[in-house]
Homo-oligomer: A and B are copies of this chain.
Amino acid sequence: MKKQEQENVAPRPISRSDVAAYFGKPESGFRDRLFVIIFEAETRAGRRFDFSLIAAILLSVVVVMLDSVSGINYRYGGILNALEWFFTVAFTIEYIARLWCVKHPLRYARSFFGIVDLLAILPTYAAFFIPELHALVDLRLLRLLRMFRLLKLTAYVEEYSVLGSAIMASRRKILIFLSVVAIVVILNGTLLYVIEGGPHSPFSSIPTSVYFAITAVTTVGFGDITPQTDLGRAITSVTMLVGWSILAVPTGIITSEMTAQRFAMKRPPNTRTCPVCLTTGLEENARFCRNCGAKLPLFARD
């Protein structure tokens, strides 16, 4: 059967025992208990820790967002600043605890979530020197990707892998699609630059014209840059119609892939064969061959 290739495309869910094996779980003592709380979601303490972590991340992002609104900043700036330092210190302690309780701290520090954890605390410290970086504290949101890891352990495995493998299986088609879109958009932008460009035109350079072509193809259409000449409008009309129509292509790719995977998933290949008359495709729970009536050997499937 050639079906197996397809099934391998689905990303293997990372189980907690992998984490323990990779980062190194300490044998016993306080470090071990901390490891269980911080890294394992199956225990009650670990689950509680994960949920309070998610709540803290969401709260700290809300704090950063509110802090950027000038009216709120003016009134509650002090409290929000204090809150942000509280969260930063808490996340710093958590980061150090994570590094301390695994056997191979460098491995954790270099892993995806290790880097994200660091990015979540750096901006507040960096804002001492470059205040503009302050808002980057929102990179904390990436920590929420943990949430998926958490949820994946319960009920989201199947949904996640169908979506992921549909996109993975179509990646080449999507790449071709995006290459064609890129060529269309650059050529279109250049053409508009030649037609509309001028000293006082908003089509001041090719990159700007390409930016406009992207707003037209994706049907966004901000309207800050628009063609003024009849020829420019005619070309843009074609661009809009093309962009609007070819949206059907990625949708077709993903949808037909998902439909196919769903049907492949629902009907596993049935290869049970009668040893007497060699009829294939016998039902899983059959006890006698439907064609010759021979008694079938019992077998446990999978």
Interface positions of A (Cβ within 8 A of B):
1, 61, 64-65, 68-70, 132-133, 135-136, 138-139, 141-142, 144-145, 147-148, 155-156, 159-160, 162-163, 166, 172-174, 176-179, 181, 183, 186-187, 190-191, 193-194, 197, 204-208, 210-211, 214-224, 226, 230, 233-234, 236-237, 240-241, 243-245, 247-260, 262-263, 266, 271, 273, 277-295, 298-302
Given contacts A224-B223, A255-B252, contact A214 B237 (CB under 8 A): yes
Please indicate the chain B residues that have their CB under 8 angstroms from the CB of A292 in the complex. 287-288
A interface: dominant SS:
helix
21 contacts between A and B (CB under 8 A): A64-B190, A69-B204, A70-B205, A133-B194, A138-B206, A141-B186, A141-B187, A144-B183, A159-B173, A163-B173, A163-B177, A221-B221, A221-B223, A223-B223, A249-B254, A251-B251, A251-B252, A278-B299, A280-B302, A288-B290, A289-B290
Given contacts A138-B187, A156-B176, A277-B298, contact A68 B218 (CB under 8 A): no
Q: How far is the CB of A83 from chain B (nearest CB, A)?
A: 15
Complex-state Cα separation, A65 to B148, whole angstroms: 41
**Contact: B218 with A219, CB < 8 Å?**
yes
Given contacts A262-B260, A293-B295, A298-B277, contact A251 B253 (CB under 8 A): no
Q: How far is the CB of A273 from chain B (nearest CB, A)?
A: 6
